Amino acid sequence: MSIKNPTPNDLAIYTAIIIALSNAFMTGLVLFFSKNFNWFSLLISTLFIAGISYFVVARVLKQFIYKRIRVIYKAIHTFKRSKTESASQINLRRHIIDEAEQEVLNWAKSNKDEIDDLKKLEEYRRNFLGNISHELKTPIFNIPGYLYTLIDGDIDDNQITQRYLNRAASNVERLNTIVQDLEQISRLEGGQLEMELHRFDVQALVQEIYDEIEIKAQENEIALQFKEGNNRAFHAIGDREQIRQVLTNLISNSVKYGKKGGTTRTGFYNMENQVLVEISDNGIGISEEHLPHLFDRFYRVDKGRSRNSGGTGLGLSIVKHIVEAHEQTINVRSRINVGSTFGFTLKKG
């Protein structure tokens, strides 16, 4: 029995002892002065009173605790408790009040976490709707402008006609790209994108991408390299075409936002059961405030430059979803005017 933190059973025992001793003291005084004192009778009566007191107090405590606990559980639990449950099922030897208090605290914390998550989702939804409206507004506004200009009289000027039709077609392609990217994200989030997992050489895949964007890299005066000791095969397991999309996006971004005369390097690191792939550059870098949001849909660090470069703002979000669909992780490290490093893992082949 604990005096500092008693159970209901302890309280019933303490109360019964106090009542029994008080009764024994008063009865003893009466018997003593009546000159009819008997130790055996006093002991029997004391034990009897103690037993009755314990039974009554325990019964009262059970009813009291049951009513209070039942109200608490009705308030915090979503499931309906059985009507057959009664006070007799309460175990007075346990710290029932402490347990109920802890359950209430856990319930409150769970509700707070749920509310915080809902607030974040609501904020994300508002931002998403605002961003997608902004992304779609420009091409949707431009296309009718070009077409109506031609309809209103400039269609006979072949030079203007060709220029405006090209601009309208470019905006249609942008709309189509946004819709396709959104559709891909939706399939990834819904687990509807079927992946073909095979063993493949990641280093060879990166070399293919280097060859594809070599001209763009030369225009930006960016050197495409592998980190020292990485000019060899590194095998991983995954959907090669999906990982191609991941690498193409990360390497293209590195070239797009790199400094003139800069370098984009890809490195591979053997881990216990994984291969870590890192794409690093010494470009303009990303400030710390933007890093937590880089993989959000339509999030842009440099809104004007990103939009003018033809990006939809969905690339990194797709990259994150593809990596997570492989049950792997992606992260980013960056400092302004120092450069950025994007790293993701793949299951080792």
The closest alpha carbon to 181, from 331, 310, 345, 341, belongs to 310
Is the pLDDT at 270 greater than 50? The verdict is yes
Chain segment 15-65, per-residue pLDDT in tens: 777 877 777 777 666 666 666 666 666 677 777 777 777 777 766 666 666
Give, as one character, the DSSP assignment of residue 239: -
Encoding tokens for residue 315?
A: 């690339």
Instruction: Report the alpha-carbon distance of residue 321 to residue 296 in Å, rounded.
Output: 11
Instruction: Report the alpha-carbon distance of residue 43 to residue 312 in Å, rounded.
Output: 90
Q: Are residues 125 and 34 in the same domain?
A: no
Domain assignment present for 266: yes
Instruction: Report the alpha-carbon distance of residue 333 to residue 224 in Å, rounded.
Output: 19
| In contact, 267 and 230? CB cutoff 8 Å | yes
Q: Are residues 232 and 326 in the same domain?
A: yes
Domain assignment present for 99: no
Domain end among 141, 161, 189: 189
Average confidence score pLDDT of the chain = 77
Chain segment 211-246, per-residue pLDDT in tens: 999 999 998 899 999 998 888 889 999 999 999 999
Instruction: Report the alpha-carbon distance of residue 90 to residue 74 in Å, rounded.
Output: 16
Q: Are residues 165 and 288 in the same domain?
A: no
Chain segment 143-168, per-residue pLDDT in tens: 888 788 777 765 666 777 888 888 88
Domain assignment present for 100: no
Chain segment 312-348, per-residue pLDDT in tens: 678 888 899 899 989 999 999 988 888 899 999 999 8
Instruction: Report the alpha-carbon distance of residue 248 to residue 243 in Å, rounded.
Output: 8
In SS3 terms, 172-238 reads as: HHHHHHHHHHHHHHHHHHCCCCCCCCEEEEHHHHHHHHHHHCHHHHHHCCCEEEECCCCCCCCEEEE
Average pLDDT over residues 100-116: 74
Count of CB atoms situated within 10 Å of the CB of 230: 16
Domain end among 69, 94, 119: 94
Q: How confident is the model at residue 87 (pLDDT cuts 50, 70, 90)?
A: very low
Instruction: Report the alpha-carbon distance of residue 348 to residue 218 in Å, rounded.
Output: 33
Phi first, then psi, for residue 304 (nearest 5°) are -65, -50
Encoding tokens for residue 243?
A: 């990982």
CATH number at residue 315: 3.30.565.10
Q: Are residues 213 and 334 in the same domain?
A: yes
Least confident of 184-193, 213-222, 296-305: 296-305
Instruction: Report the alpha-carbon distance of residue 318 to residue 330 in Å, rounded.
Output: 12
Encoding tokens for residue 2?
A: 């604990």
More confident site: 296 or 59: 296
Is the pLDDT at 172 greater than 50? The verdict is yes
The closest alpha carbon to 60, from 9, 3, 99, belongs to 9
More confident site: 20 or 93: 20
Domain end among 169, 189, 209: 189
Instruction: Report the alpha-carbon distance of residue 300 to residue 66 in Å, rounded.
Output: 57
Q: Return the ∠ at Cα 90 (arms to 84 and 94), rounded to 5°.
A: 155
Please report the pLDDT score of residue 30 as a whole number: 66
The overall pTM is greater than 0.75: no
Please report the pLDDT score of residue 84 as a whole number: 46
User: In which region does residue 87 sit, left (phi positive, over 0), alpha (psi from -120 to 50) or beta (all else)?
Assistant: alpha
Chain segment 135-147, per-residue pLDDT in tens: 777 788 888 887 8
Give, as one character, the DSSP assignment of residue 294: T
Encoding tokens for residue 158?
A: 């072949």
Q: What's the number of domains the chain is made of? A: 3
Q: Write the CA distances from 247 to 45, 186, 220, 254, 318, integer angstroms.
A: 88, 20, 19, 10, 12
Please report the pLDDT score of residue 83 as a whole number: 46
Q: Are residues 220 and 181 in the same domain?
A: no
Q: Are residues 152 and 33 in the same domain?
A: no
Q: Are residues 168 and 307 in the same domain?
A: no
Domain assignment present for 2: no
Instruction: Report the alpha-carbon distance of residue 135 to residue 43 in Å, rounded.
Output: 90
Is the pLDDT at 267 greater than 80? The verdict is yes
Domain assignment present for 60: yes
Range of the domain at 89: 8-94
Q: Are residues 339 and 207 in the same domain?
A: yes
Domain assignment present for 101: no
Within 8 A by CB and 6+ apart from 302, the residues are none
Q: How confident is the model at residue 80 (pLDDT cuts 50, 70, 90)?
A: very low
Instruction: Report the alpha-carbon distance of residue 252 to residue 242 in Å, rounded.
Output: 15
Q: Are residues 173 and 275 in the same domain?
A: no
Instruction: Report the alpha-carbon distance of residue 288 to residue 257 in Å, rounded.
Output: 16
